[in-house]
Amino acid sequence: MRILGLDPGLAATGWGVIDARANRLSHVANGVVRTKSGLSLARRLAQIDAGLADVIGRYLPAAAAVEETFVNRNPASALKLGQARGVVLVAASRAGLEVAEYSPNVIKKTVVGAGHAAKEQIGLMVRLLLPGSDAAGTDAADALAVAICHAHHRETAARVAAALS
């Protein structure tokens, strides 16, 4: 299954595409959708939507996974991040993708083994789990981690469902 991992952000939305076959993962592509800071919020959100539509059309994922928003001390920043996250969810859903959501701690625990792992640890584990991935920055590495997390959780859920039937 081809999985699109997404790390929402207003300035930079990371994306990563992996293929998951049984318990084997392989890197397909990754990148960042960047917005222009001088534009209105609406225009920036439209840039995210258009960028993700291009990524989805190019790589044709079957599922998407999105990092949930953590609570921010700055209410204005949290609101803008939430709006960017909403666009990410709509873009994936509009494309007909199954969309899963994971908290940052679940993603870190799944990929690194510790729920409070540092960004450097995430990047290292992404490189170990997806040789040759060479993420286009921390946002793309985080998005690949989201995709890896979904692959593992989806596989586990499938095994549990098979055992129960």
Q: Under DSSP, is residue 4 helix (H, G, I), strand (E, B) or coil?
A: strand
Return the pLDDT at 161: 64
Residues with a known catalytic role? 7, 67, 139
* CATH label of the domain that carries residue 151: 3.30.420.10
pLDDT band at 45 (very low <50, low <70, confident <90, very high): very high
| Pairwise CA distance, residues 110 & 103, whole Å | 11
pTM of the entire predicted model: 0.91
With a cut of 70, say whether residue 142 has pLDDT above it: yes
Of 35, 88, 67, 92, the C-alpha closest to 144 is 67
Q: Structurally, how many domains does the chain consist of?
A: 1
Give the N- to C-terminal CA distance of the chain in Å, as an integer: 22
Q: Using the predicted structure, report yes or no on whether residue 160 has a pLDDT greater than 70.
A: no
Q: Tell me the two tokens of residue 23.
A: 């318990």
Domain that holds residue 61: 2-164
Exposed / middle / buried, residue 4 (Cβ in 10 Å: 0-12, 13-18, 19+):
buried
**Could you read off the pLDDT of 103-128 as tens digits, one per residue?**
999 999 999 887 787 888 889 899 99
